[in-house]
Structure 1
Amino acid sequence: MNPFIKAGIVGLSALLACTPAFALGDPIKTAIDATFAPHAMPTLDGKIEGFNVDMANLIGERLGKKVDLTGAQFSGLIPAFQAGTYDFLVAPVTVNKERAANLLFTEGFMDTNFAFVVPANAPEYKTLEDFKGKTIAVNKGSAYDSFLREKEKEFGWKVESYGTNTDAVAAVMAGRADANLAGNTVAAWAVKQNPRLKLSYEYATGLVWALSFRKGDEANRDLVDRAIECLKLDGSMAKLSEKWFGVTPVAGTTIVTPTKGFGTPGFDGYKDDDHQASCENLK
């Protein structure tokens, strides 16, 4: 995914405090990078569709609020968010220490793992060691590119970098590479689009994607956090995973498991409490 530009998030904590809760009667205003398939992508009729688009609308339904969703280039989201144009960003953002120092996060809505894509007739790969001696295609300059190159000597694979992940996937289909490495959802989307491919080994990073609010907006963050918990409990998140990724979530994974407290545990902004996750009293 597109990373938060450091300069774009520095100073967010200095913004004016947000209203205690979403304004009565007004729609929830949020935004997303509309070019990050399958989380958000343009349709032929000029609208936006994708996993995070559906999730945003379901959050609105659970809270009894209309959602005003804007799709824009990622570089334009940050300035608008700083200016208070949006209540929060529904763009998937990996929670880390630096970002949590400047942004207020919900609990994770899914794990941000790395996944290998291989030809449908390829053998089963169960560890990183199984890719020893293999040629792996990857999007040049991505986190996956860096990961492969850092471990190239350790695991003995050959890394081929391409301008886009689409080109890297094409290399696998053409037989120029044995596998492609990308984010788990992008990998799943590629496989869903082409029966000549299949998902292979998934490398767990221990990190999650979450939705981001401005510092000081705990009231609204907590409301959306509770809605996410509800979507996990009532099966909505599992259905979205099956719809957009072609993957049925495993029990215990972040996408179907509510997190204790509010926010992402282990990071700034997390609030530990004993509230019970449910779909009651959200409106």
Structure 2
Amino acid sequence: MSGSAGAPTSRATGWPPIRRGPDPDTEQQLRRNPMKHFKNLTVAAAALLGATLFAGSASLAQEADHPANAPLVVGTDFGVAPWMVRGASGPEGFGADLINEVGKRLGRPKVEIVDIPFSGLFAALFAKRIEFTVNPLNITAERSERMLFTEPLFATGNGFLVRTSDEMKGFEDLKGKAIAVNRGTISDTWATANAEKYGFEVQRYDAFPDTVQALITRRAFAALNEIPTAVYAAKQNKAIKVAFKDYNGRNFGYAFRNESNAYRNKVEDILQCMKLDGTMRKMHEKWYGKPDDGSAIDTVYFGYGAPGFKGFEATPSALNCK
């Protein structure tokens, strides 16, 4: 290998030789203004020390927020079957099975799932009452400005429930009618944004079962929720059916505080291992049936977080699946 013109090279390596000591220009500058050089070194050392201390304090803060020897405390709104419901012996459903396995693989002594109405879920997260959310939460650009998401875990879309005697073929069938939504959810967001366009009224309730009750009692023409939730609700109640599905590329993910990036990444490593070893697919088959091939339930994404959203880290996952 030869060096570029005018640049000396080492015969052994072909690279410019190592110079012992400062070059002549630097030596002259030191003689003329030694204090300036000392100040530069002091500033550089202070900056390096500050960066080291900041990184260390951030790491300690994350450890304090996620203590390894304490129960893993997470939040969700119960009643969104079959994701999370209150069973005879505690929370059960797809979401319960998933987070209990995550807690086990994290090595936490137990998992505490706190039932929080969706409208208060983000406040609980930011106030550090919970470590992260485990409800079926849509990954959106607006939410990614405020919190960190994991990679997509579950594909979803809009599912419209109506009474079995009614029909809905498309959005135009909503004109002049009322639809019931769970307050603060992505369904609420969609309904609010499209109410004027399609000419319907929005009724808001604090829990999904309340929206179904509004539908059955004819206060609303339709109840809107995520497709998996709507399908399961219709299977449990013969008075209602899923009349229309709007698949729109949405996905669920866990949400963390912005400063919890290291712990988010740790949890995501576990989620990716659960995808690779088939654990997540088995849970889906248990609660929802066989997932579509190539869905988020089987897909391991590059990096950490949701691709295309704020908080995504284009760093290869450091998987150590056991």
TM-score by length of 1: 0.70
1:154 Cα offset (Å)? 4.8
Question: Is it true that 1:184 corresponds to 2:223 in the alignment?
Answer: no
Cα separation, partners in 2 of 1:106 and 1:76, compared to 1, 3 Å:
closer
Q: Secondary structure at the residue paired with 1:270?
A: coil
Cα pair 1:32 1:77 within 8 Å, conserved: no
2:302 is aligned with 1:260: yes
8 Å CA contact retained: 1:138, 1:181 = yes
Distance 1:272 1:187 in 2: 35
CA contact (8 A) 1:120 1:197 kept: yes
Maintained 8 Å contact 2:234/2:241:
yes
The one-letter code matched in structure 1 to 2:87 is T
* Among candidates 229, 246, 249, match of residue 272 of structure 2: 229
Amino acid at match of 2:227: N
| Residue equivalent to 2:314 | 272
Distance 1:216 1:197, change over 3 A: same
CA 1:141–1:201 in 2, change beyond 3 Å: closer, same or farther?
same
Distance 2:278 2:215 in 1: 34
Offset from partner CA, 1:53-98 (integer Å, 9 cap, x none): 2110121334444442231435377457534x54433344333334
Aligned counterpart, 1:115:
159
2:314 is the counterpart of 1:281: no
1:113, 1:184 within 8 Å by CA — same for their partners in 2?
yes
Partner SS state of residue 207, structure 1: strand
Instruction: Determine which structure has the larger helix proportion and give its number.
Output: 2
1:82 paired with 2:120, answer no
* Structure 2 residues without counterparts, runs of 5 or longer: 1-57
Cα distance in 2 for residues equivalent to 1:174 and 1:79: 33
1:138 counterpart SS class: strand
For residues 152 and 98 of structure 1, the distance between their equivalents in structure 2, rounded to whole angstroms, comes to: 20
Please give the residue correspondences for 1:12-23 in structure 2 after superposition, counting only pairs within 5 Å.
17-19=61-63
Counterpart residue number, 1:95:
139
The 5 Å alignment of 1:208-247 reads 208-244=251-287, 246-247=288-289
Aligned-residue CA RMSD (Å): 3.8
Give aligned-pair identity as a percent: 27
Bigger radius of gyration: 2
Pair 1:261–1:136, CA change in 2 (3 A)? same
CA contact (8 A) 1:32 1:40 kept: no
Given that 1:137 and 1:169 are in contact with CA atoms closer than 8 Å, whether structure 2 keeps it comes out as no
AA matched with 2:294: G
How many angstroms apart in 2 are the aligned matches of 1:274 and 1:163? 42
Instruction: Tell me: CA distance 1:193–1:64, structure 2 relative to 1, closer, same or farther (3 Å).
Output: same
The residue type paired with residue 321 of structure 2 is L
> Would you say the 8 A contact 1:225–1:262 is kept in 2?
yes
SS at match of 1:228: helix
* In structure 2, C-alpha distance between the alignment counterparts of 1:241 and 1:274, rounded to whole Å: 26
C-alpha distance in 1 between matches for 2:158 and 2:192? 14
Equivalent-residue separation in structure 2 for 1:248 and 1:190 (angstroms): 17
Structure 1 segments unaligned to the other structure (5+ residues):
1-13
SS at match of 1:102: coil
TM-score norm. by structure 2 comes to: 0.63
Correspondence 1:59 to 2:98: no
Query: How many angstroms apart in 2 are the aligned matches of 1:170 and 1:76?
Result: 23
Aligned to 1:104: 148
**Displacement of 1:169:** 3.0
Q: State the 4+ residue runs in structure 1 displaced beyond 6 angstroms.
A: 121-124, 174-177
